[in-house]
Amino acid sequence: MKPARTRVAPSPTGHMHLATARVALYDYLLAKKTGGQFILRIEDTDTQRTVPGAEQELMDGLRWLGLEYDEGPDIGGPRGPYRQTERRDIYHAHAKILVDKGHAYPCFCTPERLEKVRQEQMKRKENPHYDGMCRILDPDDAARRVAGGEKNIIRFKMPKDGQTVAHDHLRGEIITQNEQLNDYVLMKSDGLPTYHLAAMVDDHDMGITHVLRGAEWLSTFPLHVNIVRAFGWEEPAWVHLSLFLKPSGKGKLSKRDGAIAMKDGYSVFIKDFGQLGFTPEGVNNWIALMGWGVAEDDVLTLDQMIERFNVDSLTASPSAINFQKLDHFNGTHIRLLTNEDLSARIKPYFSEAGLHVDDETLYKVTPLIRERLVTLDDCLSFASFFFKENVEIDPAELIVKGLDAKQSAEILRKSYEILSGLDELTHATGEPPMRVYVEESGFTAGQVFGLMRTAITGQKVSPPLFESMEVIGRKTVLERLKNAVEILGKF
């Protein structure tokens, strides 16, 4: 396959959404697979909706995911500029070409008139559309009015007869009767182009071979192919990706679903995933399978995805967001990380929680918790106690179920005695004498070790007890046992 040039072309109008990440991922994979280029283009011609900081968030989001683009607004490239508001002259020149060729025309209708037409059409139960008033103006007259400074916009002159046959790579031929098509606006009154003109011009100008975009663009797809054909350009391969559905599978994913997800520790915005403890590897893997026909459970790194990627195996059927799968992929990728890498990734969560973490201890702790982590921030609930001077213990937790305070204190006192008798406290030296004690005492292993765990770690669930004690160290273990006995003494 010849090198593909792909682009992700988000509008900086809000937070970077999963859907943008998915387009970017497939774009990236296709470009890398074929030895081509992946481009970031910022579509900021709807200046009213532009949100400060959104462009930076998009760039940061792509980098966080590891989807490095080859050309883009901040790094430049041979076909720039890559921000549409910096390409005004290009769009003007192209709008003029279409007008000169008779494929577009200036429209002088006022917003008031257009509103009136719309109201009347609605009364007649027609779909709102431009009524074509300026379509039939004499082109020379229209040109004179434009030259005289009369306010105007440019509309595309849609063919009125016959049909438009557009080809989507995943969906095949999409046939539309031209009489149903509207004369869409190409240039707005603010002198900026609409998406319809700008994207077509840029995709051509930037040599884009495959346009991957959301299924929401299917409705204006016939317009887009007509524009490209009016210029006489070769069409890119059009790939309209599947829609995202709500987690329930019922209905399109909405803004509200994002808020609901957040309550459960998930999100639909890329910026949140890191904070929530997700890894780029996990997120990419999860996204990859929402619209790509690889096996449901395939655990893939970016490199493995590049190897396996094929644009023909993308699917058009909608996919429901499934956050449990995200958990699954995240946990799986965490377990694929080296000890060093995982340690470096969990360290910031401890630091943010105000804990001082020394690397030596951290490298010993990481292997003890890696099997249990679903998200990186789970490290806090499993392993904070390793880095705390003192653990906080709820006194009631120290009374073993079925026993009283005296018996519980006895267990702790005896454990103290046994462990303090050891020169060195390791997993290997600590466990055998404690097991002997369990046998002889008549208490169960669950009672003895459960209580020791509470006393030493301050929690009911922890990494394996004796391995943890080895990391914590003899001195601290003994201090904590003693402390627990003292607490029990107050009962």
Q: What is the set of active-site residues?
A: 255
- Under the criterion CB under 6 A, does residue 213 sit at the interface with ligand GLU? yes
Task: Give every CB contact of residue 368 below 8 A, 6+ residues apart in sequence.
Answer: 383, 463, 464, 467, 468, 471
Closer CB to ligand GLU, 23 or 412, in the complex: 23
CB 394 within 8 A of CB 355: no
Interface pattern 223-262 for ligand GLU (x via CB under 6 A): ----------------------------------------
Mark the segment that binds ligand GLU (CB under 6 A) among 8-16, 66-74, 240-248, 346-354. Answer: 8-16
Four-point Cα dihedral 291, 296, 302, 308, nearest 10: -80
Q: Is 159 left (phi over 0), alpha (psi -120 to 50) or beta?
A: beta
Transcribe 108-126 into DSSP letters.
---HHHHHHHHHHHHHTTP
Nearest-approach distance from CB 52 to ligand GLU, in angstroms:
17
Residue 27 touches ligand GLU, criterion: CB under 6 A? no
Q: Which is nearer to ligand GLU, 10 or 331 (CB)?
A: 10
Based on CB atoms, which residue is closest to ligand GLU, 79 or 388?
A: 79
By CB under 6 A, what part of segment 32-61 binds ligand GLU?
Answer: 43
Distance of closest approach, residue 231 Cβ to ligand GLU, in angstroms: 17
Sole window of 4-12, 156-164, 355-363, 386-394 interacting with ligand GLU (rule: CB under 6 A): 4-12
Residue 210: what are its φ and ψ, rounded to 5°? -135, 120
DSSP codes joined into one string, 183-234: --EEE-TTS-B-HHHHHHHHHHHTT-SEEEE-GGGSTTHHHHHHHHHHHTPP
Residue with tokens 């208490």: 443
The CA distance from 439 to 416, in Å, is 17
The answer to whether the CB of 453 falls within 8 A of the CB of 445 is no
Q: Is the peptide bond before 81 cis (omega within 30 degrees of 0)?
A: yes
CB of 186 to ligand GLU, least distance (A): 15
The SS3 assignment for 438 reads helix
Give 481's Cβ-side CA count (13 Å radius): 25
- Is 104 a residue that touches ligand GLU (CB under 6 A)? no
Q: By CB under 6 A, is residue 18 in contact with ligand GLU?
A: no
Residues touching ligand GLU, count (CB under 6 A) = 7
The Cα 400–Cα 410 span in angstroms is 11
Nearest CB to ligand GLU, comparing residues 195 and 382:
195
Among residues 4, 9, 200, 376, which is the contact residue for ligand GLU, using CB under 6 A?
9
Q: How far is the CB of 2 from ligand GLU (least distance, A)?
A: 21
From 3-11, 100-108, 132-140, 233-241, give the range in contact with ligand GLU by CB under 6 A: 3-11
| Identity of the residue, 43 or 470, whose beta carbon is nearer to ligand GLU in the bound complex | 43
Taking CB under 6 A as the rule, does residue 25 contact ligand GLU?
no
Dihedrals φ, ψ of 456, to 5°? -90, -35
Region binding ligand GLU by CB under 6 A among candidate stretches 5-13, 169-177, 445-453, 476-484: 5-13
- Nearest CA among 275, 190, 269, 212 for reference residue 24: 212
Pick one of 11, 279, 375, 415: the residue that binds ligand GLU (CB under 6 A): 11
Instruction: Figure out which of the listed residues 199, 290, 302, 488 binds ligand GLU, where binding follows CB under 6 A.
Output: 199
Stretch that binds ligand GLU, among 9-17, 142-150, 373-381, 428-436 (CB under 6 A): 9-17
Q: Cα separation of 484 and 116, whole Å? A: 81
- Between 224 and 345, CB nearer to ligand GLU: 224
Residue closer to ligand GLU by CB (options 235, 410) is 235
The length of the chain, given as a count of residues? 491
Residues lying near ligand GLU in the complex (CB under 6 A)? 9-11, 43, 195, 199, 213
